Amino acid sequence: MLIDKDKDWTSFDVVNKLRFKLKYKLGIKRFKVGHAGTLDPMATGLLLVCAGKYTKAIDSLVLKEKAYLADLKLGASTPSYDAEIEEDAQYPIEHISKELVEETLNQFRGKIEQFPPMYSAIKVKGQKLYDLARKGKEVEREARPIEIYKCEITDFDLPHLQLDIECSKGTYIRSIAHDLGQALDSGAYLTGLRRTSIGNFSIDDALSVEECAKWIEECEHSENE
């Protein structure tokens, strides 16, 4: 199922909603449902939800390249690298031009090393980074190899910047925003994110959660299916 996730929904919320609808429709107590690639609550866009025997495909779907439209604010930063937490610092942006951003983006194309944000679910010595971050602690993180296939400017209007990004599994768009701000001798954080594709699956073919739930309700079902 191709879902266009709304803002403020967690990926788990989407899975729970559709699992409930499927279990009720099929008249069974247990039914496997999962998603292929988490989207943060503030992000919108394509979420692949697999059910039944198709949950076996999740591991392969997670590996597929992904595309995003990312909205950034230049000249400020937040501890989470996105708008979930209030700004904690401001920086000059008078020296930033579209040409400078375009030149700097060359550092973020191809195979690069990326440090995950503290506000992430990655575990260090058995503890999730975001749990440590909420306690005001910061720990050393290991850089991880990722690949950026495309990173292009689609809108530039200081302090606003929008990027069209295609990337490999494991890429944190929040970290790209933060790192780009530093590379510009300024600051930046993510104000909006929309996933537009996963492999050959496009947001153009996706349904909202409510549309998919309604489709499940209206589907004809027989015991032989």
User: For the segment 153-180, what is each residue's pLDDT rounded down to a tens digit?
Assistant: 999 999 999 999 999 999 999 999 999 9
Residue 58 has pLDDT above 60, yes or no: yes
Q: Report the catalytic residues.
A: 40
Q: Output 29 or 205, whichever has higher pLDDT.
A: 205
- Report yes or no: 35 and 18 within 8 Å, Cβ to Cβ: no
Domain locations along the chain: 2-63+200-218, 66-198
DSSP 117: P
**Helix pair 209-218, 11-26: axis angle to 10 deg:** 10
Among candidates 181, 168, 67, which has minimal Cα distance to 113? 168
Counted residue by residue, the chain has a size of 225
Partners of 144 in the β-ladder: 114
Place of tokens 């191809």: 110
CA 122 vs CA 81, 118, 133, 171: distances in Å: 15, 9, 12, 12
Task: Output the pLDDT for position 225.
Answer: 47
Instruction: Write the class of the CATH domain 66-198.
Output: alpha beta
Q: Report the predicted TM-score, pTM, of the whole model to 2 decimal places.
A: 0.89
Radius of gyration of the chain measured on its C-alpha atoms: 19
Q: What is the pLDDT of residue 215?
A: 93
